[in-house]
Amino acid sequence: DQQVKQNSPSLSVQEGRISILNCDYTNSMFDYFLWYKKYPAEGPTFLISISSIKDKNEDGRFTVFLNKSAKHLSLHIVPSQPGDSAVYFCAASGRFQGAQKLVFGQGTRLTINP
């Protein structure tokens, strides 16, 4: 089972507040996790990542938290800005049947309201 799930298709947050995007995975063999951001008419772009040996990684306004026991990761954006409005994909990397694979969630559309 290689599923990665983002259960919230959309999220609306007021400018300046915290945005929290969630992602769950089902297989403990995943050992590296990434978040991608996608604007309309563009391809996904890498945002931030975390290794399974860590529980937190921070880059400016973006922080990713990993809870391995719960098989859950989250992306926090503080403070949220209008330019953060985009679709966010989480992805998990792991080795399955001898091959390294990267599996994406369905995405969460984040809208930042002024």
Partner 1 sequence: DSGVTQTPKHLITATGQRVTLRCSPRSGDLSVYWYQQSLDQGLQFLIQYYNGEERAKGNILERFSAQQFPDLHSELNLSSLELGDSALYFCASSVGGQPTYGYTFGSGTRLTVV
Please give the structure tokens belonging to residue 27: 């297989």
Q: Which is nearer to partner 1, 73 or 105 (CB)?
A: 105
CA proximity to 33, closest of 43, 22, 42 = 22
The least distance separating partner 1 from the CB of residue 41, rounded to whole angstroms, comes to: 7
Contact 37, 44 (CB under 8 A): yes
Burial of 12 (0-12, 13-18, 19+ CB in 10 A): exposed
Q: Does 21 bind partner 1 (CB under 8 A)?
A: no
Q: Does 59 bind partner 1 (CB under 8 A)?
A: no
Please state, in angstroms and rounded to a whole number, the distance separating the CA atoms of residues 57 and 51: 9
Q: Does 30 bind partner 1 (CB under 8 A)?
A: no
Q: Which is nearer to partner 1, 74 or 106 (CB)?
A: 106
Q: Which of 17, 54, 56, 101 binds partner 1 (CB under 8 A)?
A: 101
Contact set with partner 1 (CB under 8 A)? 6, 9, 32, 34, 36, 41-46, 49, 89, 91, 93, 99-107
